[in-house]
Amino acid sequence: MRVLRVIRWSPPVRRSAFYAGVPLFISEGVNAGTLSVLDRSPRRLDSNQLQLLQVLARQISAEIELRRKTSELTRAVQELNQTAIRLRDSEAFYSTLVETLPQNILRKDSHGRFTFANRRFCNFIGKPLAEVLGKTDFDLFPVELASKISCGRCACDGHAGKSGHH
């Protein structure tokens, strides 16, 4: 914990006869300013008042830091929201594209399970999407056809099975 030094000074300004200041430190020891107490009457701070001034300075420093972090977080959330909007727009474009192209479009994971299929492909095999997702060629087609599709020897609808299009 940083020790806050209290500065006492007699300012040359006639109207101020007392000054005490405590630095306001924020993250990484950066000095954000000073908490100052001025008075027209000369006075001395006792140890309790000095301690209270230091505690107040730490609380103000924490509040400054909290506001800075809140502002950073707000900016980050705004950036994430903008990214989400761009992603949603991109997904809408992709969805429109794959659903309107006159092609059977599908995607499989590294284990050969379907992770996406457009309506045209689902209509082509006569199954709804829910019955296609997570399945392999062997779950959907006769073994002989599934073997050909899996090794890329089948040309369904004019496209090789290995390319991801059937």
Q: Closest Cα partner for 121 from 132, 112, 109, 135?
A: 132
Model confidence band, residue 76 (pLDDT cutoffs 50, 70, 90)? very high
pTM score: 0.52
The whole-angstrom separation of Cα 99 and Cα 123 is 12
What pLDDT score was predicted for residue 68? Answer: 92
Assess if residue 111 is contained within a domain. Answer: yes
Residue 109 pLDDT exceeds 50: yes
The whole-angstrom separation of Cα 159 and Cα 103 is 9
What pLDDT score was predicted for residue 14? Answer: 57
What pLDDT score was predicted for residue 151? Answer: 74
Assess if residue 92 is contained within a domain. Answer: no
Assess if residue 76 is contained within a domain. Answer: no
What pLDDT score was predicted for residue 28? Answer: 83
* DSSP-derived 3-state class of residue 117: strand
* Residue 31, domain extent: 7-65
Maximum pairwise Cα distance, the chain: 102
pLDDT digits (tens, 9 = 90+) for 9-64: 555 555 668 888 999 999 888 998 999 988 888 888 899 999 999 999 999 999 99
What pLDDT score was predicted for residue 29? Answer: 85
Count of domains forming the chain: 2
Q: Closest Cα partner for 2 from 21, 24, 18?
A: 24
Beta strands in 27-158 (DSSP E): 30-39, 106-108, 114-117, 155-156
Q: Say which CATH number the domain at 42 has.
A: 3.30.450.40
Could you tell me how far CA 104 lies from the centroid of its own chain?
35
Assess if residue 89 is contained within a domain. Answer: no
* DSSP-derived 3-state class of residue 7: strand
Assess if residue 1 is contained within a domain. Answer: no
Q: Are 32 and 24 in contact (CB under 8 A)?
A: yes
What pLDDT score was predicted for residue 103? Answer: 94
The whole-angstrom separation of Cα 165 and Cα 12 is 85
What pLDDT score was predicted for residue 163? Answer: 40
Task: Give the pair of three-digit tokens for residue 138.
Answer: 């062997």
What pLDDT score was predicted for residue 158? Answer: 45
